[in-house]
Structure 1
Amino acid sequence: MTHLTRIVRGAAVALLTSGFVTGATMAQDVTHKVGSTPSGVPFTFLDVKTNQIDGVMVDIIRAIGEDQGFKPEVEATQWSALIPSLTSGKIDIIAAAMYATEERAKVVTFTDTVYTYGEGLFVKSDDAGSYKSLDDLAGKTAGVQVGTAYVEPLKVSGKFADVKVYDTIADIMRDVALGRIDVGFGDRPIVAYQLSQSASDVRLVPEYESQVTGNVAIAVRQDDADLLAKINAGLANIKASGKLDEIIAKWGIN
Protein backbone atom coordinates (compact mmCIF):
# COMPACT_ATOMS: atom_id res chain seq x y z
CA MET A 1 0.00 0.00 0.00
CA THR A 2 1.44 3.36 -1.02
CA HIS A 3 1.78 6.24 1.35
CA LEU A 4 -0.85 8.17 -0.64
CA THR A 5 -3.31 5.26 -0.44
CA ARG A 6 -2.89 5.09 3.33
CA ILE A 7 -3.60 8.82 3.58
CA VAL A 8 -6.77 8.56 1.47
CA ARG A 9 -8.09 5.54 3.39
CA GLY A 10 -7.28 7.20 6.68
CA ALA A 11 -9.15 10.30 5.63
CA ALA A 12 -12.15 8.21 4.55
CA VAL A 13 -12.23 6.39 7.88
CA ALA A 14 -11.98 9.70 9.71
CA LEU A 15 -14.91 11.12 7.74
CA LEU A 16 -17.05 8.04 8.34
CA THR A 17 -16.22 8.02 12.03
CA SER A 18 -16.91 11.73 12.27
CA GLY A 19 -20.28 11.29 10.58
CA PHE A 20 -21.23 8.44 12.87
CA VAL A 21 -20.35 10.34 16.02
CA THR A 22 -22.14 13.44 14.78
CA GLY A 23 -25.28 11.43 13.99
CA ALA A 24 -25.28 9.78 17.41
CA THR A 25 -24.66 13.10 19.10
CA MET A 26 -27.48 14.67 17.15
CA ALA A 27 -29.84 11.86 18.19
CA GLN A 28 -28.89 12.35 21.82
CA ASP A 29 -29.29 16.10 21.53
CA VAL A 30 -32.90 15.99 20.24
CA THR A 31 -35.09 17.41 23.00
CA HIS A 32 -38.83 17.95 23.27
CA LYS A 33 -40.46 20.22 25.84
CA VAL A 34 -43.01 18.33 27.89
CA GLY A 35 -45.78 19.94 29.91
CA SER A 36 -46.74 18.15 33.13
CA THR A 37 -48.83 19.41 36.02
CA PRO A 38 -47.17 20.02 39.42
CA SER A 39 -50.17 18.84 41.46
CA GLY A 40 -51.37 15.53 39.94
CA VAL A 41 -49.74 13.02 42.30
CA PRO A 42 -48.85 10.30 41.42
CA PHE A 43 -49.16 10.95 37.67
CA THR A 44 -47.26 14.24 37.67
CA PHE A 45 -46.16 16.38 40.61
CA LEU A 46 -43.45 18.65 41.92
CA ASP A 47 -40.96 16.75 44.07
CA VAL A 48 -40.00 19.34 46.68
CA LYS A 49 -36.77 17.48 47.48
CA THR A 50 -35.43 17.80 43.93
CA ASN A 51 -37.58 20.71 42.73
CA GLN A 52 -38.29 18.61 39.63
CA ILE A 53 -41.51 17.27 38.14
CA ASP A 54 -41.86 13.54 38.83
CA GLY A 55 -44.51 10.83 38.56
CA VAL A 56 -46.00 8.08 36.44
CA MET A 57 -46.35 10.05 33.21
CA VAL A 58 -42.89 11.57 33.60
CA ASP A 59 -41.36 8.10 33.92
CA ILE A 60 -43.36 6.95 30.90
CA ILE A 61 -42.34 9.80 28.59
CA ARG A 62 -38.71 9.37 29.67
CA ALA A 63 -38.86 5.65 28.90
CA ILE A 64 -40.38 6.43 25.50
CA GLY A 65 -37.72 9.07 24.86
CA GLU A 66 -34.95 6.63 25.73
CA ASP A 67 -36.48 4.08 23.37
CA GLN A 68 -36.90 6.57 20.53
CA GLY A 69 -33.73 8.62 20.95
CA PHE A 70 -35.02 11.93 22.28
CA LYS A 71 -34.72 13.69 25.62
CA PRO A 72 -37.91 14.98 27.31
CA GLU A 73 -37.43 18.38 28.93
CA VAL A 74 -40.22 18.38 31.51
CA GLU A 75 -41.73 21.72 32.52
CA ALA A 76 -44.25 22.43 35.28
CA THR A 77 -47.47 23.54 33.60
CA GLN A 78 -50.80 24.22 35.31
CA TRP A 79 -53.64 21.97 34.18
CA SER A 80 -55.66 24.75 32.55
CA ALA A 81 -52.59 25.87 30.58
CA LEU A 82 -51.58 22.48 29.16
CA ILE A 83 -53.48 22.59 25.86
CA PRO A 84 -52.91 26.33 25.22
CA SER A 85 -49.18 25.81 25.86
CA LEU A 86 -49.10 22.92 23.39
CA THR A 87 -51.02 24.63 20.59
CA SER A 88 -49.01 27.85 20.97
CA GLY A 89 -45.69 25.98 20.71
CA LYS A 90 -44.48 26.62 24.27
CA ILE A 91 -44.32 22.85 24.76
CA ASP A 92 -44.21 19.93 22.32
CA ILE A 93 -45.83 17.18 24.38
CA ILE A 94 -48.44 16.89 27.12
CA ALA A 95 -47.65 14.07 29.55
CA ALA A 96 -50.23 14.26 32.33
CA ALA A 97 -53.33 12.50 33.64
CA MET A 98 -55.32 13.75 30.65
CA TYR A 99 -58.23 11.91 29.06
CA ALA A 100 -58.23 11.59 25.29
CA THR A 101 -61.71 13.09 24.83
CA GLU A 102 -63.41 13.92 21.53
CA GLU A 103 -63.55 17.59 22.49
CA ARG A 104 -59.82 17.81 23.21
CA ALA A 105 -59.05 15.82 20.05
CA LYS A 106 -60.46 18.72 18.05
CA VAL A 107 -57.40 20.80 18.94
CA VAL A 108 -54.66 18.26 19.81
CA THR A 109 -53.74 14.74 18.68
CA PHE A 110 -53.59 11.89 21.18
CA THR A 111 -51.37 8.84 21.19
CA ASP A 112 -52.53 5.32 21.83
CA THR A 113 -53.99 4.68 25.30
CA VAL A 114 -51.57 4.69 28.23
CA TYR A 115 -53.92 4.02 31.17
CA THR A 116 -57.68 3.88 31.87
CA TYR A 117 -59.60 5.08 34.96
CA GLY A 118 -62.59 7.12 36.19
CA GLU A 119 -63.45 9.69 38.83
CA GLY A 120 -63.32 9.00 42.55
CA LEU A 121 -65.65 10.43 45.20
CA PHE A 122 -64.40 11.66 48.55
CA VAL A 123 -66.20 12.97 51.62
CA LYS A 124 -65.34 14.15 55.11
CA SER A 125 -63.87 11.40 57.29
CA ASP A 126 -66.75 11.47 59.76
CA ASP A 127 -69.33 11.16 56.96
CA ALA A 128 -70.37 7.51 57.28
CA GLY A 129 -72.85 7.65 54.44
CA SER A 130 -72.89 5.10 51.63
CA TYR A 131 -72.71 6.70 48.18
CA LYS A 132 -72.79 4.34 45.24
CA SER A 133 -74.06 6.69 42.54
CA LEU A 134 -75.00 10.31 41.91
CA ASP A 135 -78.55 9.54 43.01
CA ASP A 136 -77.21 9.09 46.54
CA LEU A 137 -75.73 12.61 46.45
CA ALA A 138 -78.88 14.55 45.57
CA GLY A 139 -78.98 18.04 47.06
CA LYS A 140 -75.34 18.12 48.15
CA THR A 141 -72.70 20.67 47.17
CA ALA A 142 -69.79 19.25 45.18
CA GLY A 143 -66.30 20.28 44.16
CA VAL A 144 -64.50 19.23 40.97
CA GLN A 145 -61.19 20.17 39.32
CA VAL A 146 -61.19 22.64 36.45
CA GLY A 147 -60.58 21.24 32.98
CA THR A 148 -61.41 17.63 33.89
CA ALA A 149 -63.92 15.50 32.01
CA TYR A 150 -66.12 15.35 35.11
CA VAL A 151 -67.14 19.02 35.28
CA GLU A 152 -69.89 19.06 32.66
CA PRO A 153 -71.47 15.66 33.50
CA LEU A 154 -71.72 16.64 37.17
CA LYS A 155 -73.25 20.01 36.34
CA VAL A 156 -75.82 18.67 33.88
CA SER A 157 -76.78 15.76 36.13
CA GLY A 158 -79.08 18.05 38.11
CA LYS A 159 -78.31 16.10 41.28
CA PHE A 160 -76.39 18.78 43.15
CA ALA A 161 -77.38 21.99 44.87
CA ASP A 162 -74.15 23.46 43.51
CA VAL A 163 -71.04 22.29 41.66
CA LYS A 164 -67.98 24.39 42.39
CA VAL A 165 -64.88 24.27 40.19
CA TYR A 166 -61.41 24.31 41.78
CA ASP A 167 -57.84 24.61 40.50
CA THR A 168 -56.49 21.53 42.30
CA ILE A 169 -57.66 18.38 44.08
CA ALA A 170 -55.89 19.63 47.22
CA ASP A 171 -58.15 22.70 47.22
CA ILE A 172 -61.23 20.47 46.97
CA MET A 173 -60.01 18.23 49.79
CA ARG A 174 -59.45 21.28 51.99
CA ASP A 175 -63.00 22.56 51.51
CA VAL A 176 -64.50 19.09 52.05
CA ALA A 177 -62.52 18.75 55.29
CA LEU A 178 -63.65 22.21 56.44
CA GLY A 179 -67.28 21.49 55.57
CA ARG A 180 -67.52 24.22 52.94
CA ILE A 181 -68.74 21.62 50.43
CA ASP A 182 -70.17 18.15 50.99
CA VAL A 183 -68.31 16.01 48.48
CA GLY A 184 -65.38 16.18 46.08
CA PHE A 185 -64.53 14.50 42.80
CA GLY A 186 -61.14 13.84 41.27
CA ASP A 187 -59.15 11.30 39.28
CA ARG A 188 -59.59 8.16 41.37
CA PRO A 189 -55.96 6.91 41.34
CA ILE A 190 -54.70 10.42 42.15
CA VAL A 191 -57.12 10.82 45.05
CA ALA A 192 -56.36 7.32 46.35
CA TYR A 193 -52.60 7.86 46.18
CA GLN A 194 -52.72 11.24 47.90
CA LEU A 195 -54.90 9.93 50.72
CA SER A 196 -52.60 6.92 51.20
CA GLN A 197 -49.56 9.11 51.75
CA SER A 198 -50.69 11.01 54.83
CA ALA A 199 -53.43 11.36 57.41
CA SER A 200 -56.41 13.32 56.15
CA ASP A 201 -59.80 14.56 57.24
CA VAL A 202 -61.38 13.16 54.08
CA ARG A 203 -61.92 9.61 52.85
CA LEU A 204 -62.35 7.97 49.46
CA VAL A 205 -65.75 6.31 49.07
CA PRO A 206 -64.94 2.71 48.05
CA GLU A 207 -68.42 1.75 46.85
CA TYR A 208 -68.82 4.70 44.48
CA GLU A 209 -69.03 3.64 40.82
CA SER A 210 -67.34 6.03 38.38
CA GLN A 211 -69.75 7.73 36.02
CA VAL A 212 -67.09 8.96 33.60
CA THR A 213 -64.24 6.65 32.63
CA GLY A 214 -61.65 7.55 30.07
CA ASN A 215 -58.35 6.71 28.49
CA VAL A 216 -55.25 8.64 29.51
CA ALA A 217 -52.97 9.38 26.56
CA ILE A 218 -50.06 11.63 25.63
CA ALA A 219 -50.86 14.62 23.40
CA VAL A 220 -48.96 16.41 20.62
CA ARG A 221 -49.87 19.15 18.14
CA GLN A 222 -52.11 18.10 15.27
CA ASP A 223 -49.45 18.88 12.68
CA ASP A 224 -46.71 16.89 14.44
CA ALA A 225 -47.26 13.49 12.82
CA ASP A 226 -43.60 12.47 13.09
CA LEU A 227 -43.50 13.00 16.84
CA LEU A 228 -46.82 11.19 17.23
CA ALA A 229 -45.43 8.18 15.36
CA LYS A 230 -42.30 8.13 17.52
CA ILE A 231 -44.24 8.27 20.76
CA ASN A 232 -46.66 5.56 19.65
CA ALA A 233 -43.75 3.35 18.61
CA GLY A 234 -41.98 3.92 21.92
CA LEU A 235 -45.19 3.31 23.86
CA ALA A 236 -45.75 0.01 22.04
CA ASN A 237 -42.19 -1.03 22.83
CA ILE A 238 -42.37 -0.29 26.55
CA LYS A 239 -45.70 -2.11 26.73
CA ALA A 240 -44.21 -5.16 25.00
CA SER A 241 -41.08 -5.16 27.15
CA GLY A 242 -43.01 -4.88 30.42
CA LYS A 243 -41.47 -1.49 31.23
CA LEU A 244 -44.88 0.21 31.34
CA ASP A 245 -46.14 -2.34 33.87
CA GLU A 246 -43.02 -1.75 35.96
CA ILE A 247 -43.65 1.99 36.05
CA ILE A 248 -47.31 1.56 37.00
CA ALA A 249 -46.38 -0.92 39.75
CA LYS A 250 -43.67 1.43 41.04
CA TRP A 251 -46.29 4.10 41.72
CA GLY A 252 -48.87 1.70 43.16
CA ILE A 253 -51.78 2.56 40.86
CA ASN A 254 -52.61 -0.93 39.54
Structure 2
Amino acid sequence: MFITKLAIGVFGLALAFSGPAFAADSVKVGVTTTGVPFTFVDTTSQQVTGAMVDIVNAIAADNGIEAQFELTAFSALIPSLNAGKIDIISAGMLATDERRKIVNFSDTVYSYGDAMFVAADNPENYTIEALKGETVGAQIGTTFADSLKALGIFGEVKLYDSIADIMRDVKLGRIKAGFGDQPIVAYQIAKNPALGVRLVDGYKPLKSGDVALAVPKDKAELLQKINASIAKLKESGELEKIFAKYGI
Protein backbone atom coordinates (compact mmCIF):
# COMPACT_ATOMS: atom_id res chain seq x y z
CA MET A 1 0.00 0.00 0.00
CA PHE A 2 1.19 3.50 -0.79
CA ILE A 3 -0.26 6.49 1.07
CA THR A 4 -0.10 9.96 -0.41
CA LYS A 5 -0.88 13.12 1.55
CA LEU A 6 -1.21 16.25 -0.54
CA ALA A 7 0.28 19.47 0.69
CA ILE A 8 -1.81 22.59 0.32
CA GLY A 9 -1.42 24.02 -3.14
CA VAL A 10 -0.70 20.81 -5.08
CA PHE A 11 -1.59 21.47 -8.73
CA GLY A 12 -2.71 24.94 -7.64
CA LEU A 13 -5.99 23.49 -6.44
CA ALA A 14 -6.02 24.78 -2.88
CA LEU A 15 -7.34 28.18 -3.93
CA ALA A 16 -9.99 26.75 -6.20
CA PHE A 17 -11.27 23.86 -4.08
CA SER A 18 -13.13 24.12 -0.82
CA GLY A 19 -15.74 21.37 -1.05
CA PRO A 20 -17.14 19.37 1.87
CA ALA A 21 -15.33 16.23 2.95
CA PHE A 22 -16.46 12.66 2.35
CA ALA A 23 -17.94 10.84 5.32
CA ALA A 24 -14.61 9.06 5.91
CA ASP A 25 -11.15 10.53 6.52
CA SER A 26 -9.65 8.45 3.72
CA VAL A 27 -10.56 6.38 0.68
CA LYS A 28 -8.87 3.27 -0.67
CA VAL A 29 -8.05 3.68 -4.34
CA GLY A 30 -7.31 0.75 -6.64
CA VAL A 31 -4.52 1.32 -9.17
CA THR A 32 -2.39 -0.92 -11.36
CA THR A 33 1.37 -0.91 -11.95
CA THR A 34 0.93 -1.80 -15.63
CA GLY A 35 -0.89 1.34 -16.80
CA VAL A 36 1.95 3.77 -17.54
CA PRO A 37 1.37 6.72 -17.78
CA PHE A 38 -2.06 6.47 -16.15
CA THR A 39 -0.85 4.55 -13.07
CA PHE A 40 2.56 3.06 -12.31
CA VAL A 41 5.27 2.86 -9.65
CA ASP A 42 8.14 5.34 -9.98
CA THR A 43 11.32 3.26 -9.89
CA THR A 44 13.25 6.05 -8.17
CA SER A 45 10.88 6.88 -5.33
CA GLN A 46 9.01 3.54 -5.28
CA GLN A 47 5.82 5.57 -4.98
CA VAL A 48 2.67 5.06 -7.04
CA THR A 49 2.30 7.83 -9.62
CA GLY A 50 0.69 8.69 -12.95
CA ALA A 51 -2.06 10.88 -14.37
CA MET A 52 -4.92 9.00 -12.70
CA VAL A 53 -3.05 9.10 -9.40
CA ASP A 54 -2.67 12.87 -9.67
CA ILE A 55 -6.36 13.21 -10.51
CA VAL A 56 -7.61 11.19 -7.56
CA ASN A 57 -5.16 12.99 -5.28
CA ALA A 58 -6.61 16.29 -6.46
CA ILE A 59 -10.14 14.99 -5.83
CA ALA A 60 -9.13 13.85 -2.34
CA ALA A 61 -7.54 17.23 -1.60
CA ASP A 62 -10.72 18.98 -2.74
CA ASN A 63 -12.68 16.97 -0.18
CA GLY A 64 -10.17 17.23 2.66
CA ILE A 65 -9.34 13.54 2.83
CA GLU A 66 -6.47 11.18 2.20
CA ALA A 67 -6.09 8.77 -0.73
CA GLN A 68 -4.65 5.37 0.14
CA PHE A 69 -3.46 3.43 -2.91
CA GLU A 70 -3.86 -0.33 -3.30
CA LEU A 71 -1.81 -1.94 -6.07
CA THR A 72 -4.15 -4.32 -7.88
CA ALA A 73 -3.99 -6.35 -11.10
CA PHE A 74 -6.14 -4.71 -13.79
CA SER A 75 -8.42 -7.75 -14.07
CA ALA A 76 -8.97 -7.68 -10.28
CA LEU A 77 -9.90 -3.99 -9.98
CA ILE A 78 -13.68 -4.37 -10.37
CA PRO A 79 -13.89 -7.54 -8.22
CA SER A 80 -11.90 -5.74 -5.51
CA LEU A 81 -14.21 -2.73 -5.73
CA ASN A 82 -17.36 -4.79 -5.38
CA ALA A 83 -15.84 -6.86 -2.58
CA GLY A 84 -15.26 -3.70 -0.56
CA LYS A 85 -11.48 -3.96 -0.63
CA ILE A 86 -11.24 -0.56 -2.34
CA ASP A 87 -13.59 2.42 -2.61
CA ILE A 88 -12.56 3.87 -5.97
CA ILE A 89 -10.86 2.68 -9.15
CA SER A 90 -8.62 5.32 -10.69
CA ALA A 91 -6.81 3.71 -13.62
CA GLY A 92 -6.82 3.77 -17.42
CA MET A 93 -10.17 1.98 -17.39
CA LEU A 94 -12.75 2.58 -20.12
CA ALA A 95 -16.35 3.14 -19.02
CA THR A 96 -18.10 0.46 -21.09
CA ASP A 97 -21.75 -0.58 -21.07
CA GLU A 98 -20.85 -4.00 -19.68
CA ARG A 99 -18.87 -2.48 -16.81
CA ARG A 100 -21.67 0.01 -16.10
CA LYS A 101 -23.89 -2.94 -15.21
CA ILE A 102 -21.79 -3.68 -12.13
CA VAL A 103 -20.11 -0.35 -11.18
CA ASN A 104 -20.88 3.35 -11.52
CA PHE A 105 -18.51 5.56 -13.49
CA SER A 106 -17.67 9.19 -12.96
CA ASP A 107 -17.75 11.84 -15.65
CA THR A 108 -15.17 11.31 -18.39
CA VAL A 109 -11.61 12.49 -17.73
CA TYR A 110 -9.92 11.26 -20.94
CA SER A 111 -10.81 9.53 -24.22
CA TYR A 112 -8.71 7.19 -26.39
CA GLY A 113 -8.65 4.01 -28.46
CA ASP A 114 -6.42 0.98 -28.95
CA ALA A 115 -3.10 0.79 -30.79
CA MET A 116 -1.42 -2.04 -32.73
CA PHE A 117 2.30 -2.64 -32.30
CA VAL A 118 4.78 -4.96 -34.02
CA ALA A 119 8.47 -5.78 -33.72
CA ALA A 120 10.70 -2.76 -34.40
CA ASP A 121 12.41 -4.58 -37.26
CA ASN A 122 9.09 -5.50 -38.90
CA PRO A 123 8.39 -2.89 -41.61
CA GLU A 124 4.78 -3.97 -42.24
CA ASN A 125 1.96 -1.61 -41.30
CA TYR A 126 -0.72 -4.27 -40.99
CA THR A 127 -4.46 -3.86 -41.19
CA ILE A 128 -6.57 -6.09 -38.98
CA GLU A 129 -7.55 -8.17 -42.02
CA ALA A 130 -3.89 -8.76 -42.94
CA LEU A 131 -3.42 -10.59 -39.62
CA LYS A 132 -6.01 -13.26 -40.41
CA GLY A 133 -4.89 -16.59 -38.98
CA GLU A 134 -2.05 -15.04 -36.96
CA THR A 135 -1.53 -15.09 -33.19
CA VAL A 136 -1.92 -11.67 -31.59
CA GLY A 137 -1.80 -10.49 -28.00
CA ALA A 138 -3.93 -8.33 -25.72
CA GLN A 139 -4.15 -7.62 -22.01
CA ILE A 140 -6.57 -9.75 -20.04
CA GLY A 141 -9.66 -7.92 -18.81
CA THR A 142 -9.54 -5.18 -21.46
CA THR A 143 -12.26 -4.25 -23.93
CA PHE A 144 -9.71 -4.61 -26.72
CA ALA A 145 -9.24 -8.30 -25.97
CA ASP A 146 -12.98 -8.88 -26.21
CA SER A 147 -13.21 -6.93 -29.50
CA LEU A 148 -10.34 -8.91 -31.05
CA LYS A 149 -11.89 -12.25 -30.07
CA ALA A 150 -15.26 -11.17 -31.43
CA LEU A 151 -13.75 -10.66 -34.89
CA GLY A 152 -13.07 -14.40 -35.13
CA ILE A 153 -10.29 -14.03 -37.70
CA PHE A 154 -7.15 -14.73 -35.69
CA GLY A 155 -5.46 -18.03 -35.10
CA GLU A 156 -5.35 -17.08 -31.43
CA VAL A 157 -5.86 -14.00 -29.29
CA LYS A 158 -3.35 -14.67 -26.54
CA LEU A 159 -4.09 -12.95 -23.23
CA TYR A 160 -1.40 -11.39 -21.03
CA ASP A 161 -1.22 -9.84 -17.58
CA SER A 162 0.52 -6.70 -18.81
CA ILE A 163 1.39 -4.73 -21.95
CA ALA A 164 5.07 -5.26 -21.12
CA ASP A 165 4.54 -9.03 -21.44
CA ILE A 166 2.87 -8.56 -24.83
CA MET A 167 5.74 -6.36 -26.02
CA ARG A 168 8.26 -8.99 -24.99
CA ASP A 169 6.57 -11.71 -27.05
CA VAL A 170 6.13 -9.39 -30.04
CA LYS A 171 9.82 -8.51 -29.93
CA LEU A 172 10.80 -12.19 -29.68
CA GLY A 173 8.53 -13.14 -32.58
CA ARG A 174 6.28 -15.37 -30.50
CA ILE A 175 3.22 -13.42 -31.68
CA LYS A 176 2.78 -11.29 -34.79
CA ALA A 177 1.29 -8.19 -33.21
CA GLY A 178 0.06 -6.78 -29.92
CA PHE A 179 -2.82 -4.49 -29.00
CA GLY A 180 -3.15 -2.12 -26.08
CA ASP A 181 -4.22 1.28 -24.84
CA GLN A 182 -2.83 3.82 -27.32
CA PRO A 183 -1.50 6.38 -24.78
CA ILE A 184 0.05 3.67 -22.62
CA VAL A 185 1.75 1.93 -25.55
CA ALA A 186 2.95 5.19 -27.11
CA TYR A 187 4.34 6.45 -23.79
CA GLN A 188 6.25 3.24 -23.07
CA ILE A 189 7.76 3.05 -26.57
CA ALA A 190 8.79 6.72 -26.46
CA LYS A 191 10.45 6.30 -23.07
CA ASN A 192 12.17 3.00 -23.82
CA PRO A 193 13.19 2.27 -27.44
CA ALA A 194 14.92 -0.88 -26.17
CA LEU A 195 11.49 -2.51 -25.88
CA GLY A 196 11.99 -3.47 -29.52
CA VAL A 197 8.50 -2.68 -30.76
CA ARG A 198 6.89 0.14 -32.74
CA LEU A 199 3.41 1.47 -33.34
CA VAL A 200 1.77 0.47 -36.63
CA ASP A 201 1.28 3.59 -38.73
CA GLY A 202 -2.22 4.26 -40.02
CA TYR A 203 -3.90 1.79 -37.68
CA LYS A 204 -7.56 2.62 -37.06
CA PRO A 205 -8.66 1.70 -33.51
CA LEU A 206 -11.19 -1.07 -33.14
CA LYS A 207 -12.78 0.84 -30.34
CA SER A 208 -12.49 4.22 -28.70
CA GLY A 209 -13.77 4.94 -25.24
CA ASP A 210 -13.85 7.20 -22.25
CA VAL A 211 -11.66 6.87 -19.16
CA ALA A 212 -13.43 7.51 -15.87
CA LEU A 213 -13.13 6.67 -12.19
CA ALA A 214 -15.35 3.88 -10.87
CA VAL A 215 -17.21 3.43 -7.57
CA PRO A 216 -19.55 0.74 -6.24
CA LYS A 217 -23.23 0.96 -7.16
CA ASP A 218 -24.20 1.77 -3.56
CA LYS A 219 -21.94 4.82 -3.18
CA ALA A 220 -23.96 7.52 -4.94
CA GLU A 221 -22.79 10.29 -2.62
CA LEU A 222 -19.15 9.44 -3.26
CA LEU A 223 -19.79 9.57 -7.01
CA GLN A 224 -21.46 12.99 -6.73
CA LYS A 225 -18.49 14.43 -4.89
CA ILE A 226 -16.02 12.93 -7.38
CA ASN A 227 -17.96 14.47 -10.28
CA ALA A 228 -18.10 17.85 -8.55
CA SER A 229 -14.31 17.79 -8.14
CA ILE A 230 -13.77 16.66 -11.75
CA ALA A 231 -15.88 19.62 -12.91
CA LYS A 232 -13.60 21.98 -10.97
CA LEU A 233 -10.50 20.34 -12.45
CA LYS A 234 -11.87 20.82 -15.95
CA GLU A 235 -12.96 24.40 -15.37
CA SER A 236 -9.64 25.44 -13.86
CA GLY A 237 -7.62 23.77 -16.63
CA GLU A 238 -5.84 21.54 -14.11
CA LEU A 239 -7.13 18.32 -15.68
CA GLU A 240 -5.51 19.20 -18.99
CA LYS A 241 -2.28 20.13 -17.22
CA ILE A 242 -2.16 16.79 -15.42
CA PHE A 243 -2.38 14.81 -18.66
CA ALA A 244 0.11 17.13 -20.37
CA LYS A 245 2.57 16.41 -17.54
CA TYR A 246 2.62 12.76 -18.67
CA GLY A 247 2.71 13.50 -22.39
CA ILE A 248 -0.88 12.44 -23.11
Q: Please, what TM-score do these two structures have when normalized by structure 1?
A: 0.86
Larger Rg: 1
Residues 78-117 of structure 1 show CA distances to partners (whole Å, capped at 9, x for unaligned) of 1111011110111000000001111111111000111000
> Contact 2:36–2:50 (CA<8 Å) still a contact in 1?
yes
Please state if 1:118 is matched with 2:113: yes
Matched ranges for 1:57-206 at <5 A: 57-131=52-126, 133-199=127-193, 200-206=195-201
> Contact 2:114–2:205 (CA<8 Å) still a contact in 1?
yes
Residues 215-237 of structure 1 show CA distances to partners (whole Å, capped at 9, x for unaligned) of 11000010001100000000000
Q: Tell me which protein shows more helix as a share of its residues.
A: 1
| 4+ long deviations beyond 2 Å | 26-29
> Contact 2:22–2:222 (CA<8 Å) still a contact in 1?
no
Matched ranges for 1:44-55 at <5 A: 44-55=39-50
| Alpha-carbon shift at residue 169 of structure 1 (Å) | 0.2
Any gaps of 5 or more consecutive residues in structure 2?
Answer: 1-20
Q: Which of 222, 245, 251 is equivalent to 2:217?
A: 222
Q: What amino acid sits opposite 2:240 in the alignment?
A: D
Over aligned residue pairs, what C-alpha RMSD do you find?
Answer: 1.6
Q: 1:43 corresponds to which residue?
A: 38
Secondary structure of residue in 2 paired with 1:230: helix
> Contact 2:125–2:201 (CA<8 Å) still a contact in 1?
no
Any gaps of 5 or more consecutive residues in structure 1?
Answer: 1-25
The alignment covers a number of residue pairs equal to: 228
> Contact 1:100–1:215 (CA<8 Å) still a contact in 2?
yes
Q: What amino acid sits opposite 1:141 in the alignment?
A: T
> Contact 2:120–2:197 (CA<8 Å) still a contact in 1?
yes
| Alpha-carbon shift at residue 214 of structure 1 (Å) | 0.7
Distance 1:115 1:197 in 2: 21
Q: What amino acid sits opposite 1:232 in the alignment?
A: N
Identity %: 53
